Structure 1
């Protein structure tokens, strides 16, 4: 894979330039985990993910809205600078999944409102639940990566950080490949924690850093209503933007139908993102089949 090759070249170059200051070689937990992982607990902020499904069971599915009412245009980008949103446009993103019992419910809600999102998956989660990762692609959503095990990359050596990014992208790609899908080039830093050298390495590896304009902070122990109110307030203040959610929290599953209904009521449109395979003039990278009626 082209991305893996480019990462390998970057890794070799960095090893030459940083060998005098890098940490002594150690068994890297994130790479050992690539062989096997048996837990669904992940820290996304100061509070660990909640695993109760009671809210999901009590949450009725939304009534489908008219096709195309909330769904906006599709933007295909070769690099992050091309993600230019108009006033009233929103990009929905979900980090840290896939998570059984939660990701499916979010997919159903998105389908009911006929909108697409971008899922930044952990390699470890995609490896544990490859069928669910493929279900996300099958429903028409873009899938990017979010490292293998949600490490704060700024706490690792450069070599370890690149290895964590590469392992995550490989695991997501492998999970999708069995269904004939490809991972997009979108990547998001865990905790949004980065530095200039890490960002340059990611870009050199042909990944596209997907930033955040509106952080829902759904990883706090808030009520679904509080998550919704906080997110809408920040969106209204900006008028547009990339919204960060996580498809691992009950509160997000519960809140999402009302949030999308409110977006529709306020006249917003949800933009779908896709990436090319790398380079301004390269072909589109089809990561999932777009539903009928969705076109660039």
Structure 2
């Protein structure tokens, strides 16, 4: 499959994604909360963060989560010349893959920083066997609001949609604080968390996306 549009979620299914990490003091607590509820997430790591925290990057992979990339330095790619933007993407991928070492492999999932993209960049990535992850529900956990406010907004938007890919960031304390209660509420409301996982090979030589079910 070549894009988020190909990832078909059934009603009640949720994909949890975490951008910008890994970060000491935050990512491990995110992992503990996910472990507590037996669910897996997709971590879209910055190359610079993974390079600075390779042990954390490896821990994410060892705990069974999916690891993708998010550029090297979180540049707004829409503002860069085409080649510079592609280089930033490739540099990020390479740094995350190196940080993972033998702990796991880098999945072909990518998210644009700030969700800022161009048609050229998106097409180039899709033709290059990468899967661009868009966002159905932005938790806006980067706003300076309470954990309760962020969680309530996220759940409200999820209830309105019925399913979707949720954007969080594993670099914020409020996300660390809200996640256990949010996971409990997802369980109470009957949602199922699924994990994106690439198959080793697929039709036409391209990677294929599957959604693996986890118990909430």
Scaled by the length of structure 1, the TM-score of the pair is: 0.68
The equivalent residue for 1:128 is 52
Match of 2:17 among 86, 93, 107: 93
The equivalent residue for 2:151 is 228
1:138 to partner: Cα distance: 0.3
User: May I ask how many residue pairs the two structures share in their alignment?
Assistant: 212
Over aligned residues, Cα RMSD in angstroms?
A: 2.0
Stretch of structure 1 that moved more, 251-260 or 198-207 = 198-207
Match of 1:239 among 145, 150, 162: 162
1:144 paired to 2:68? yes
Q: Counterparts of 1:132-281 in structure 2 under 5 Å?
A: 132-177=56-101, 179-277=102-200, 279-280=202-203
Q: Which runs of 5+ in 1 are unaligned?
A: 1-76
1:35-59 deviation digits (Å, cap 9, x = unpaired): xxxxxxxxxxxxxxxxxxxxxxxxx
Paired residue secondary structure (1:99) = coil
Determine which structure has more spread, i.e. the larger CA radius of gyration.
1
Contact 1:206 1:278 in 2 (8 A): no
1:209 to partner: Cα distance: 0.2
1: CA distance, partners of 2:200 / 2:124: 18
Q: Which runs of 5+ in 2 are unaligned?
A: none
Paired residue secondary structure (2:156) = helix
Contact 2:66 2:197 in 1 (8 A): yes
The equivalent residue for 2:8 is 84
Contact 1:78 1:280 in 2 (8 A): no
1:41-82 deviation digits (Å, cap 9, x = unpaired): xxxxxxxxxxxxxxxxxxxxxxxxxxxxxxxxxxxx565343
Contact 2:20 2:44 in 1 (8 A): yes
Contact 2:68 2:109 in 1 (8 A): yes
Contact 2:3 2:133 in 1 (8 A): no
The equivalent residue for 1:16 is none
1:277 to partner: Cα distance: 4.2
Contact 1:214 1:242 in 2 (8 A): yes
1:203 to partner: Cα distance: 1.0
1:257-278 deviation digits (Å, cap 9, x = unpaired): 0000000000000011101346
1:283 to partner: Cα distance: 9.0
1:281 to partner: Cα distance: 5.7
Contact 1:276 1:282 in 2 (8 A): no
Match of 2:32 among 105, 108, 111: 108
2: CA distance, partners of 1:278 / 1:124: 29
Paired residue secondary structure (2:203) = coil
Scaled by the length of structure 2, the TM-score of the pair is: 0.93
